[in-house]
Amino acid sequence: MSAILPPSERVWWNQPIDKLEFTWIAIALVWSLVMFAMMIWWHIFGNQNLANETYKTTKEMYAAKTQAVVDQYTVRTGDEAEKQFPIVKPPAGSDIYLIGRLWDWWPVYELEHGKTYKLHLSAMDYMHGFSLQPQNINIQVHPNYDHVIKITPNAAGIYSIVCNEYCGIGHHTMVGRMYVK
């Protein structure tokens, strides 16, 4: 009789389905399959796919690799507004390591637009959230995992890296920077 009573026809399975209801189910099924195909299609033809390349690492090992890149390619020391962090300009195609820690993104990289770099992300303490603005690319950053993403900046500018995973009382001060020339 109604949804709060048992079905009035004991063998409800054999009741015919309303025509419009059936049409809607068919449409919804097709749309579901289109959306499923869309993700696969983008893996083949799209340019924005998160890489699957990840390594287990340790905080010490990751910090040492980052330090090595900083030692090799630092072009100057930043000013006050750059927290006096090293400004690092590695050649196109190289591995660049970014550290997320309480409450900095370290160091500051200077990249060339149209060139590809292998960006590594890892955290030193809690989890952090890599949120590149105003691009709006958002990636979760874990401690003890080294996540490698090939990035190709498509426009020059000053980019900010906001932390968008809660990481304690100073979370709102955790902003880094990336230059694209």
Partner 1 sequence: MTTTYRICPRSGLQFDTNAEKLMRWHAVAGVLSLLVGGIMALGVILTRWPAVKLLEADVFYMVLTAHGIDMLIFWIIFFEMAVLLFASSTLLRCRMATPKLGWVSFWLMAIGAIMTNVAIFQGESSVMFTSYVPMQAKWHFYLGLILFAVGALLTCFIFLGTLVVAKAEKTYEGSIPLVTFGALTACIIAIFTIASGAVILIPTLLWSLGYIREIDSLMYRTVWWALGHSSQQINVSAHVAIWYAIAAIVFGAKPMSEKVSRSAYFLYILFLQLASAHHLLSDPGLGSEWKVVNTSYFMYFAVLASMIHGMTVPGAIEQAQRLKGYNKGLFEWLRKAPWGNPAFSSMFLSLIGFGFLGGISGVMMGAEQLNMLIHNTIYVPGHFHATVVIGTTLAFMGLTYFLVPVLFKRELLFPGYAKMFPYLFGLSMYMVALVMMGAGTLGVARRHWDMAFAGSPMAYEWPGAAYLMMGLTGIFGTIACVSGGLWILQIVFSLLFGKKLEEGEMRSTPIPLTLPAPTPGGAAHPPATPGTMVLALIFLTSFILYYFVNWKYLSSLWSMA
- Least spacing, CB of residue 115 vs partner 1, in Å: 11
- Least spacing, CB of residue 96 vs partner 1, in Å: 14
- Least spacing, CB of residue 142 vs partner 1, in Å: 5
Task: Please give the structure tokens belonging to residue 166.
Answer: 């809660």
Nearer to partner 1, 99 or 174 (CB): 174
- Least spacing, CB of residue 63 vs partner 1, in Å: 16
Task: Identify the residue whose tokens are 């959306």.
Answer: 35
Nearer to partner 1, 55 or 72 (CB): 55
Nearer to partner 1, 74 or 127 (CB): 127
**3-class state of residue 180 by DSSP:** strand
Q: How many CB atoms lie within 10 A of CB 143?
A: 17
- Least spacing, CB of residue 78 vs partner 1, in Å: 9
Burial environment of residue 171 by CB neighbours within 10 A (0 to 12, 13 to 18, 19 or more)? middle
Nearer to partner 1, 73 or 106 (CB): 106
Nearer to partner 1, 12 or 60 (CB): 12
128 with 103: CB under 8 angstroms?
no
d(CA 59, CA 122): 8
Task: Identify the residue whose tokens are 């955790």.
Answer: 174
Cα angle value 124/129/130 (rounded, 5°): 95
- Least spacing, CB of residue 169 vs partner 1, in Å: 6
Q: What is the CA radius of gyration of the chain?
A: 24
Sequence-distant (≥ 6) Cβ neighbours of residue 137 within 8 angstroms: 130, 131
Nearer to partner 1, 74 or 160 (CB): 160
